[in-house]
Chains A and B, each alone.
Chain A
Amino acid sequence: MNPNRPMPPRWAENLLEHLLPEHTREDIVGDLREEYAEALLPRYGRFGADLRYVRHVLSFLPAATRESTTMGVILIGVSVITAICMFWLAAMEIVLRHPLYAHRAALDVVLGLVCLATICIRLLHPPRTLDERSLRGIGFLLILFGALAFFQNAGSAHFEGFVFVISLLLMLQGVLMLLTLGRIVPGDQSRTSR
């Protein structure tokens, strides 16, 4: 191999190799390396070519997350941590009895239960238990709760590092849920039954 030959970003190519199943890895990585050297680099220059190459690599992410169990394992891990945090927060609210503690404790318990539901759904294989729309709904709900907690905490005078971490975990959990449980179909690929 010629060491002076233009190469796509090494990290992106490694990521691509990681995302692809073994039986298609060799040809797709080769195709995109060829595309990078022969089309993207001469047309867009180094920076533009790198960006476009990374975009191609990221386009394999939805399929990879659907197929691999890695993201599912991460999702379960994050859900467990968040569930523990939420139940712990609920317990603290009840012990400390700040104003509106009952409402906040209830919300914490609900979120904890959502996390437990996420774990159960993931373990039981979602298509048999809930439809795609419900799963997407739960994912978006988690992102929404996470974002609300994040911005409310960021705007408050008394910044809570713990709430900050939980809000990030909730958002991550929502995104992982959408990626692993929902079906993301690129473009118009559906086949309509006659």
Chain B
Amino acid sequence: MTGLEFEKPVRDLQEKIAELKKFTSTSEVDLSDEIEKLELRLKKLEDDIYNSMTPWDRVQMARHPNRPTTLDYISYLFEGFFELHGDRTYGDDAAIVAGIAKYHGQPVTVIGHQRGRDTKENIQRTFGMPHPEGYRKALRLMKQAEKFNRPIICLIDTKGAYPGKAAEERGQSEAIARNIFEMAGLTVPVICVVIGEGGSGGALALGVGDRLFMLENSTYSVISPEGAAALLWKDAGLAKRAAETMKITAPDLRALGIVDEIIPEVRGGAHRDAKRQAELMDEVLKPAIKQLLTMEQTSLVDQRYEKYKRIGGYAEQTTGLKD
């Protein structure tokens, strides 16, 4: 199992318990009392460590190589997912997967960033960093969902839009901007869930909706902590500090009022049990979709507008501080 640095004490203790267990089974000495004590200590240690994760710990968790991806969650959450391809103009971007499926019997359109699960797949999917055709495919299928009155579920998991020459030539900016613009006006419910990293405009291009949920150990930011540190303090090594200052974790964003609800994670991170994690997502998604489906189309769009209109912190000379 791939472990993270802050989890080392847990791993050490687990190894020690395993050792003692092995020793007990092969020798005359009975250490079961000792083992029991250690297991209690392990539980307490896990509580301590996983309940006091720093923003940087969460960044590591969000980037964990084994963290479940969009396709993993799709396989657990939806029935009959039917993947659809292409933007009808240029190509098919494998950094975004999209298709139709059923969610508890309800037809839905599902769209998400897709990282690779190994190097080969990562190259094919450009590490989950989309080109304009990826965003345009997403938009095409969102418009299709609107036509057939299907709710849309977007799973966000990207370091950002792909920074490449071809991407710029084909209008990366315009593609992201267009998605934001069109998503603001969709007359069907849109639910967005950050499942890993939510990187900047590349994430937001699938992120304008009626509800924004975040997995407990996911991040959402205007720039990566490394990028922020390099830009602000000319030192990418200060990423840890940037992760704290920039407020990029689910709890921080909940406090800022940007995230509607945090989806709790399996203890030790979603990668420990993807199936159980999907169940935890289901518990939040299901009532949200049900509730949004009762709303009128126009009030849905108006409410979405008001939701974004409220975001921001500024002072107004005449009326004082407004939040």
Does B bind A?
A: no
